[in-house]
Amino acid sequence: MTEILTNDWLENFFEVADEENILKRRESHCIEFKSKFDWSSEKARSNYCKSLCAFSNNKGGALIFGVENQPHKIVGINNFEDVDDADITNYINEIFTPSIHFERKTFEFRGMTIGILYAFKNKNRPIICNKDSSKTNSSDVYYRYGAKSTKIKAGDLIKLIEEVRKEESDRWMKLLDNIGKIGIENTHLLNSSSGEIVSENNTFLLDEKLLDQIKIVDRYSIQEDGQPAVKIIGDIPELARVIKTNTNIYEEDIYKSYLKEERLVSDEDLLKFICQKNTPYYPFYFLLKRMNLDKEQAIKFLEDIKIRGSVRQSLINRIKNDKKSKDYKNRFSLSTRSRYGPKRQVYLDKIKISEDFELENEDDSKRVLESVFRLENGQFEFEFIKDKLFSIFEDYYPFKINGLNYLFRDAITYLDYLENKPAGNNG
């Protein structure tokens, strides 16, 4: 059901709304409507996550925010980006295990913003509740039945487990088939949980979290003060070297490096730092450009960075097809029917002709940041808007308005996408 995330599907889904914005659609096993997005309420976010779990244990599905219930009137929301993906992930991981893979998207309809929180079908079903919350109970398994998310029935749990076993069996058969084609002598197995690579030569990766616990000497180490001892024999190959990030790099260094070309650390170290963040949505194309890496070279560089986690792979995916940046185009409405549309239009017009303007407060800054997503190449001067965003950074960062720090990051990331995405990027 991942087509739910495409603009074509969303346009088709919402186009049946009448002139009063009443949506002639029903909730289903993969769709649930919410009038508001209230992540600050524990009861609300617990309920959202219960539905996401139910979707993920079934075939996947979406919570659609900005649509009232009975009747399904489209009202839109204006705070969907106030919470970062990392905050949602952290809360979900507190309540459920294994992790729920989700994606967030916004969609503009008649000057209103619709929020979509989509949970993918999980390969490691069933997802189990491991902590009580307002809407969940420990040890429960939730499943989507029609338009309801509820505790799974015994018969369906048995079917789910059987389905997972069959899928796992199919993966084993595919793995063995590939080993047969490659040859067992050329096959190496990576344990993605521990970082261990198993082969005839037994090469290992060391997690940097162990560095403060282990004292390493060239040939051996002696246990001191209760420290674990590790013996290393032979040379350490490139594959097994530990990547340790410069602890003096901060998120603000990314912004300064892009907006003012300040090089407080090397471009390579800054890129490695981004690889270890909670989200891949940071400006990074400018770093690849400064390192003179084309699309293929950039992908190879990231593949060779031995940092485990999903962000590095997500950056590679962005190089190939930056779908999120593409979808962020026209993220905020300019319509006169939208509350802030006219003000965004004023700032957008000034940016296009490089006409300077003063900002009195954070709220004005927010409207400027929102207008950035309406920019297109050839319409404006990058240096002008980068100078303006740096002024906002100096005057107000870190922001007090809820969610504005994330909006600032997203606006800069989108600008970097327009200016520096490598040739051949399909986004």
Q: Write out pLDDT tens, residues 7-16.
A: 888 998 998 8
- Token look-up 């998207």 returns 105
Cβ neighbours around 331 below 10 Å, total: 19
**Can you give the pLDDT at residue 213?**
47
Final residue before a domain boundary, out of 117, 152, 187 = 152
395 or 184: which leads in pLDDT: 395
Those residues whose C-beta lies under 8 Å from the C-beta of residue 46, and which sit 6 or more positions away, are 95, 133, 134, 135, 136
Single out the residue of 407, 422, 411, 421 nearest to residue 374, CA to CA: 411
Question: Rounded CA gap, 223 and 229, in Å?
Answer: 5
Mean pLDDT calculated for residue range 229-246:
45
**Residue 362 within any structural domain of the chain:** yes
296 or 223: which leads in pLDDT: 296
Cβ neighbours around 267 below 10 Å, total: 17
**Residue 224 within any structural domain of the chain:** no
Q: Is the pLDDT at 407 greater than 70, yes or no? A: yes
Question: Rounded CA gap, 142 and 153, in Å?
Answer: 9
Contact assessment for residue 213 and residue 205, using Cβ atoms and an 8 Å cutoff: no
If asked whether residues 262 and 138 sit together in one domain, one would say no
If asked whether residues 309 and 422 sit together in one domain, one would say yes
Average pLDDT of the residues of the chain: 85
Final residue before a domain boundary, out of 152, 170, 196 = 152
If asked whether residues 282 and 412 sit together in one domain, one would say yes
Q: Is the pLDDT at 157 greater than 90, yes or no? A: yes
Q: What is the pLDDT of residues 68-108, one digit of tens each?
A: 988 899 999 999 988 988 889 999 999 999 989 999 999 99
Final residue before a domain boundary, out of 152, 171, 194 = 152
If asked whether residues 128 and 254 sit together in one domain, one would say no
How far is the CA of 159 from the CAs of 53, 113, 128, 390, in angstroms? 17, 39, 16, 56
Give the DSSP letter string of 214-248: -B--SS-----TTPPB----S---GGGPPP---TT
Q: Is the pLDDT at 54 greater than 90, yes or no? A: yes
If asked whether residues 140 and 250 sit together in one domain, one would say no
Give the DSSP letter string of 130-190: -S--SS--TT--EEEETTEEEEPPHHHHHHHHHHHHHHHHHHHHHHHHHHHHH-GGG--EE
Question: Rounded CA gap, 404 and 394, in Å?
Answer: 14
The two counts, helices (H) then strands (E), for the chain are 14, 10
List the structure tokens of 318: 């962005």
Q: Nearest 10 degrees: CA dihedral of 172, 173, 174, 180? A: 110
Contact assessment for residue 66 and residue 76, using Cβ atoms and an 8 Å cutoff: yes
The tally of domains found in the chain comes to 2
If asked whether residues 281 and 415 sit together in one domain, one would say yes
Contact assessment for residue 286 and residue 265, using Cβ atoms and an 8 Å cutoff: no
Looking at 169-178, 188-197, 238-247, which range is the least confident one? 238-247
**Residue 53 within any structural domain of the chain:** yes
**Can you give the pLDDT at residue 331?**
87
Q: What is the pLDDT of residues 331-380, one digit of tens each?
A: 898 999 888 999 999 999 999 999 999 999 999 999 999 999 999 999 99
Give the percent of the chain with pLDDT over 70: 85
How far is the CA of 416 from the CAs of 66, 286, 372, in angstroms? 30, 7, 11
Mean pLDDT calculated for residue range 376-388:
96
If asked whether residues 249 and 384 sit together in one domain, one would say yes
Q: Which helix (H) or strand (E) holds 393?
A: helix 382-396
**Residue 77 within any structural domain of the chain:** yes
Q: What is the reported pTM? A: 0.62
The terminus-to-terminus CA distance of the chain in angstroms comes to 21
List the structure tokens of 70: 């009975």
**Residue 314 within any structural domain of the chain:** yes
Q: What is the pLDDT of residues 264-304, one digit of tens each?
A: 789 999 999 998 887 889 999 999 999 999 999 999 999 98
- Token look-up 């991981």 returns 93
Residue 105 phi, psi (nearest 5): -150, 150
254 or 229: which leads in pLDDT: 254
- CATH code: domain of residue 133: 3.30.950.30
**Residue 40 within any structural domain of the chain:** yes
If asked whether residues 114 and 12 sit together in one domain, one would say yes
**Residue 69 within any structural domain of the chain:** yes
**Residue 99 within any structural domain of the chain:** yes
Q: What is the pLDDT of residues 186-198, one digit of tens each?
A: 777 765 544 455 6
If asked whether residues 249 and 147 sit together in one domain, one would say no
Range of the structural domain that residue 390 is part of: 245-427
Q: Is the pLDDT at 181 greater than 50, yes or no? A: yes
Q: Fill in the amino acid letter for 346.
A: V
Single out the residue of 334, 399, 321 nearest to residue 372, CA to CA: 334
